[in-house]
Amino acid sequence: MNLHSRFPAITDLRARARRRIPHFVWEYLDSATGVEATQRRNRTALDKVLFDPSILHGAWEPDLTTTLLGQAYPLPIGIAPVGMSGLIWPGAEQMLARIAAQEGIPYTLSTVATQLPEDVGPHAGDHGWFQLYPPRDPGIRDDILKRVKSSGFNTLVLTVDVPVASRRERQTRGGLTNPPKLTPRLALQAARCPAWLNGIRKTGMPRMRLMDSYSDVKTALPSTQHIGYLLRTSPDWDYFKSLRDVWDGLLIVKGVGRADDAARLTDEGADAIWVSNHAGRQFDGGPAAIETLPAIRAATPLPVIFDSGIGGGLDVLRAIAVGADFVMLGRAFHYGLGAFGARGAAHVLDILRQDMISNMGQIGAKSFAALPNCLRSIQ
């Protein structure tokens, strides 16, 4: 099957994935928090970033390459961390790590993934990043860092926008607990999705294996208050400084939404700033992430990474035009997995690539550096 002929957009993959993933898993993947207004604001604000089309610029191929933190990439795109990735699609972490290695882009493994860093790192090669939810115990923190580094992850991503569990009401109504358990209600949903269920039978019910290795807690918890919350802390500036002291690799801070925080992180030794509002999954009363990006770009000379609401290649161009150096996507790659497994996730990357080429041709941008000059307005 030619996927481009029937599934030319990420929304097409999303629709197919929804039919192939059990409802309780879908609610975990696709939901935000509150009334999901921030999720909608992300989309609306991206749509307000406009370009002026260009004419009579002849035939040419745009340059899609970029450099981030001293490394060259064929695209300004990476795979963002998604907790419990292997619940969404069995074997997801290894699949995505292999795709990242093959395509030469970053793959970010979550602290609350279903696989251990030792089991995923070799698949990612030199392209593995590790996302850290900060452990309260310095001994656990240092042991995780040691394991991560020995598994080949040399870039650490500290997430700072999850100080407490969000409510995620839609996810809660879905009935998911941690570790996941197939109650009669959820088992019926799973039975309607045979490809997902067959995969789970091979891998076993997913657990947060890294977190499990530091705790013997057996009690089922709500999905919004998983075992990670029993072990981690809400970091402060002193925590960041101590982490900077013990981690000798690249350190990115994810979840930044204010220019003054970006400026201070620059002074305190961060290597890059990751602008994100967690795609609306943590707080429903804040601005769209793209609205905060220009001020953060102006506040720091560091590389700026962006996520939240990206739905296609045009959105990638929008983010770069208003200040991002690099763009990460999480849900989109999991829509691809749910639709067609590893082939679907690879197709997501090709959709993004072709979409960028098409839109850069329309506005006459031969490189990403030209995008700000093509920008019309942010209304």
Mean pLDDT (whole number) for 296-316: 98
Asked whether 28 and 222 are in contact (CB, 8 A), the reply is no
Find the helix or strand (DSSP H, E) in which 307 lies: none
Is the pLDDT assigned to residue 149 strictly greater than 80? yes
What are the pLDDT digits (tens) for 191-224? Answer: 999 999 999 999 999 999 998 888 765 555 565 5
Helix (H), strand (E), coil (C) string for 87-140:
HHCCCHHHHHHHHHHHHCCCEEEECCCCCCHHHHHHHHHHHEEEEECCECCHHH
Q: Is 123 a catalytic residue?
A: no
Q: Strand pairing partners for 254?
A: 159, 274
Among the options 226, 278, 334, 347, which is catalytic?
278
pLDDT category at 231 given cuts 50, 70, 90 is confident
What are the pLDDT digits (tens) for 55-92? Answer: 999 999 999 999 999 999 999 999 999 999 999 999 99
Identify which of 100, 39, 111, 31 has the alpha carbon closest to the alpha carbon of residue 71. Answer: 100
What are the pLDDT digits (tens) for 317-367? Answer: 999 999 999 999 999 999 999 999 999 999 999 999 999 999 999 999 999
Q: What is the pTM of this model?
A: 0.95
